[in-house]
Structure 1
Amino acid sequence: MTADAPTARRRSWRTLDTAAGGLALDLGLYSVSALFAAITASTSTLLPHRAWGAVAATGYLVATLAVLVQLVVRRRNPRLVGLPARWAVTGFAWVTTALLPVLWQSVERANGRTDRAQEEVLVVEQAGIRLLDHGTPYLGRDAIAALPPGEQLLGYTPYQPGMAMFGLPRALVDTWWTDARVWFAVGTALALALAVVTLRAAPATLGGDRRREDAALLRGVQAATVLPICALTLATGGDDLPVLALCLLALALAAAGRPGRAGLAVGLAGALKLFAWPIALVLIVWGLTRRAGARVAAGAIGLPVVALVPALLVDRDALTENVLRFPLGHGLVTSPAQSPFPGHLIATALPGGRLIAAALLVVAGAAIAVRLARRPPGTAAASALICGYGLLAAIALMPSTRFGYLLYPLALLVWAPALHRPEPAPTTPTPEHLPGRTTSA
């Protein structure tokens, strides 16, 4: 690959992204999404997914028609169609394809429908009840073994302790607005709003085009909201969306030159789910290039540790069973996360395949670690790209994974162009700040 290859890719993406003032890609996004939602509504074997598709298809279709109108108006007078109109359509699309299905399914579930939530919603709500009653969201191995065989999977809570907070409202009141998805949506909206405000308040890139930066920010928000993989996940399960939104907020704060707050944001995400921990590691390395590694690490490591302490003190074995043994395939039941990615295919089709897949995953992790040590990311945008490609490799190689996990790398990679802001100049790396990196490098 030549040195100009990354530049060529950026130019190709910019050409596609800016065609017809960004409306061409908007049209493709909403029209393809409408088709996907319609197919989901008619063919999915998962009833919550079918219910999402029936509502979301209409929302995407109306958004598609709105973009077509904008294209017609733009041909006559380009000044009449700008970013505010595109933001309005994006907001409408998110409300109708994600938030409305969340409320619809929550109300139907409260009225007695038992097929209006995926298993993770029930797991998080039960974790909230256990946290309130027993001080820990986790059941021990013996308690899980005592459950009927068909319920043992739901006895596991393979999340960090903070995720149980979204289940607390249901532990207090049993009604539609205490559905965990409602609070996932609230947390996601708040984190994304803070990320947008943070980037909008940051100065424009020196010599840069503020309009182009705002357009990149809009595209990043679309990737985290109206992209079907995100809208569907929020409406039917939802636990990944607040984690993703907090990670995007952390990167936005890094781009704005606020390393301490970036660490707090990614630390909150890490207190919810392990997927945020690699992003925390990359941001700590980014902080080291600015003599702010300790400030990032204080929140990025401190908050997850603080969240783990109560569960560790109440029942250490239950914590280990849920957050370590079960995800590693050593629980009483196996995870249903079995999307046909390379890691899963290797693990199931080859003798000793699980060990081979695990070894490949370790090799990929080691390669990323070497990349971070030799060329630490100097900007938030570079950090987002490393996180995006790294998680993409991890998801592809994990023996047990879900197609829905792709929302993380997709959103991170599209978010990266929105992070180009004039951050404070990095300090010169030294051996004491970057172990393993020599001054002659």
Structure 2
Amino acid sequence: MTAHADPATATSRRWSALDTAAGGLALDLGLYAAATIFAAVTAATSTLPPHRAWGTVATIGYAIAALAATTQLIARRRHPGTPLAGLPARWTVTGLTWATTALLPVVVQSIQRAGGRTDRAQEEVLVVEHAGTRLAEHGTPYLGPDAIAALPPGEQLLGYTPYQPGMALFGLPRAAADAWWTDARVWFAVGTALALAALVTTLRTSTGPTSPRRSAALLRAVQAATVLPVAALTLATGGDDLPVLALCLLALALAAADRPGRAGLAVGVAGALKLFAWPVAVVLVCWAATRRAAPRTALGALGLPVLALLPVLLVDRDALVENVLRFPLGHGLVTSPAQSPFPGHLIAETLPAGRVVAAALLVAVGLAIAVRLLRHPPRTTAATALICGYGLLAAILLMPSTRFGYLLYPAALLVLAPALALAEAPTGQPGRPAFPATARREPAGRRTPEA
């Protein structure tokens, strides 16, 4: 025996003990109780009207979920084996919680906005809807630098569309009709729900019948992408990150099911929406290279974002560069309001030449990850999810301009990793190493290649 345990294994064991305590209900209760407090504090103290409106509705939803989890815990102690405390019941509570803390606030705020309330949507919603209108009318979702400069100073920020061209598709319904159901958040929610449904279906059927352990790990991953407060709040008030995240998670699930071509298509669609998906695409292609499937994966993962850029590049190259490159890098006519107090922002604002220092740290982390990928490419999708999660976490913490809500990306990716590890491993085989050991080993056998 070794004198010192592997830190990763020790961390995995601690997480597993917490995750499985009382059949998973203890962590469920902790999540819903903490979320209730978060939503209540948001409703009482947030300076953003859409956030306060979300907190008012979500507090009730989370409180009901906490009460349900408490009831399940009591039932489990008094009647071991009761279906009330089983996995299907936990899935039901999770679904109802997402409906009351994310989907219901989306509908409520969309209806209120359609009724004349101007404080029921974050700027992202307006930006995407304007982009959809421009795409329908001019063939590009972007305004050029001259057009943005001609706007009143207070409206120049909303003139920028710092997303990839595909994001404008969620704004097309608004270009057709002015109604609550054409609110971009409604279609963000639809896209997210479809991608998550495909994720669950893929991981449940990837290696035969689903084991309770894999189903429990999958439930935890779905909770991270739906009922975790940062995810529910983001969907209800802005929403553009949720379909991107869901597609990235779906791509990893398809990879775990040994469908590299479809995985590339899923992450490629995400990359056609937002730049945050591009690092995931790169790491996924590195995973595919270990299985001699890099061309199939890269065709969708890298080809779809490039294909989405070509039409708008031909229509107005300067507009594309101004919105997608200059503005995110801080060289636009106005600066981004994304300023959460993470290390990168604090360094940029307080140290001499702070932006240069923060940028250097960000580049150093990127180079370290690149070296890691070249020397030791991930051989499992669990390892791929871990690299993506920790890499995005480091980038979010070090970027000079970032948002607290971006943390939903690393949170969901890291929590998905155990489910991916279990989906890749054959079920019912004693002695099979548990996560994260499976994330560091080559699968024992090769599955049938994707059709």
Length-normalised TM-score, structure 2: 0.92
Partner of 2:448: none
* Maintained 8 Å contact 1:290/1:426: no
Q: Distance in 2 between matches of 1:39 and 1:340?
A: 19
Q: For 1:247, give the aligned amino acid.
A: C
Any residues of structure 2 matched to 1:234-245 within 5 Å, and which? 234-245=235-246
Partner of 1:190: 194
Q: Distance in 1 between matches of 2:296 and 2:406?
A: 29
Asked if 1:117 is matched to 2:121, the reply is yes
Partner of 1:8: 10
Q: Distance in 2 between matches of 1:266 and 1:236?
A: 24
Asked if 1:167 is matched to 2:171, the reply is yes
Partner of 2:434: none
Partner of 2:132: 128
Partner of 2:308: 307
Offset at residue 42 of structure 1 (A): 0.8
- Seen in structure 2, the aligned counterparts of structure 1 residues 3 and 390 have a Cα distance that, compared at 3 Å, is farther
Offset at residue 423 of structure 1 (A): 6.6
Any residues of structure 2 matched to 1:69-218 within 5 Å, and which? 69-80=71-82, 81-203=85-207, 210-218=211-219
Q: Distance in 2 between matches of 1:129 and 1:376?
A: 42
Q: Distance in 2 between matches of 1:18 and 1:423?
A: 20
* Maintained 8 Å contact 2:226/2:232: yes
Deviations 1:204-231 (A, max 9, x none): 69xxx81111100000000000000000
Any residues of structure 2 matched to 1:362-381 within 5 Å, and which? 362-381=363-382
Asked if 1:419 is matched to 2:420, the reply is yes
- Seen in structure 2, the aligned counterparts of structure 1 residues 68 and 311 have a Cα distance that, compared at 3 Å, is same
Partner of 1:338: 339
Partner of 1:318: 319
Partner of 2:224: 223
Partner of 1:432: none
* Maintained 8 Å contact 2:165/2:272: yes
* Maintained 8 Å contact 1:256/1:423: no
Offset at residue 426 of structure 1 (A): 5.8
Say which SS state the counterpart of residue 331 (structure 1) adopts.
coil
Q: For 1:373, give the aligned amino acid.
A: L
Q: Distance in 2 between matches of 1:351 and 1:109?
A: 44
Q: Distance in 2 between matches of 1:383 and 1:312?
A: 32
Cα RMSD between the aligned structures?
1.6
Asked if 1:54 is matched to 2:56, the reply is yes
Offset at residue 3 of structure 1 (A): 6.0
Q: Give 4+ residue runs of structure 1 displaced > 2 Å after superposition.
A: 421-428
Deviations 1:291-310 (A, max 9, x none): 00011100000100110011
Asked if 1:27 is matched to 2:29, the reply is yes
Larger CA deviation: 119-128 vs 417-426:
417-426
Q: Distance in 2 between matches of 1:113 and 1:340?
A: 30
Q: Distance in 1 between matches of 2:220 and 2:425?
A: 21
Q: For 1:419, give the aligned amino acid.
A: L
Offset at residue 282 of structure 1 (A): 0.3
Q: Distance in 1 between matches of 2:77 and 2:132?
A: 54
Any residues of structure 2 matched to 1:355-434 within 5 Å, and which? 355-420=356-421, 421-422=423-424
* Maintained 8 Å contact 2:378/2:384: yes
Offset at residue 427 of structure 1 (A): 9.9
Deviations 1:229-252 (A, max 9, x none): 000000000000000000000000
Q: Distance in 1 between matches of 2:194 and 2:34?
A: 28
* Maintained 8 Å contact 2:131/2:168: yes
Offset at residue 79 of structure 1 (A): 1.2
Deviations 1:75-119 (A, max 9, x none): 122211210000000001000000000000000000000000000
- Seen in structure 2, the aligned counterparts of structure 1 residues 2 and 369 have a Cα distance that, compared at 3 Å, is farther
Offset at residue 373 of structure 1 (A): 1.0
* Maintained 8 Å contact 1:167/1:180: yes
Between the two proteins, the alignment pairs up a number of residues equal to 425
Deviations 1:153-184 (A, max 9, x none): 00000000000000000000110000000000
Say which SS state the counterpart of residue 138 (structure 1) adopts.
coil
Partner of 1:329: 330
Q: Distance in 1 between matches of 2:10 and 2:379?
A: 21
Q: Distance in 1 between matches of 2:341 and 2:4?
A: 32
* Maintained 8 Å contact 1:257/1:423: no
Length-normalised TM-score, structure 1: 0.94
* Maintained 8 Å contact 1:289/1:426: no
Deviations 1:319-345 (A, max 9, x none): 000000000000000000111111111
> What residue ranges of structure 1 are gaps of 5+ in the alignment?
429-441
Partner of 2:437: none
* Maintained 8 Å contact 2:425/2:443: no
> What residue ranges of structure 2 are gaps of 5+ in the alignment?
427-440, 445-451
Q: Distance in 2 between matches of 1:134 and 1:154?
A: 18
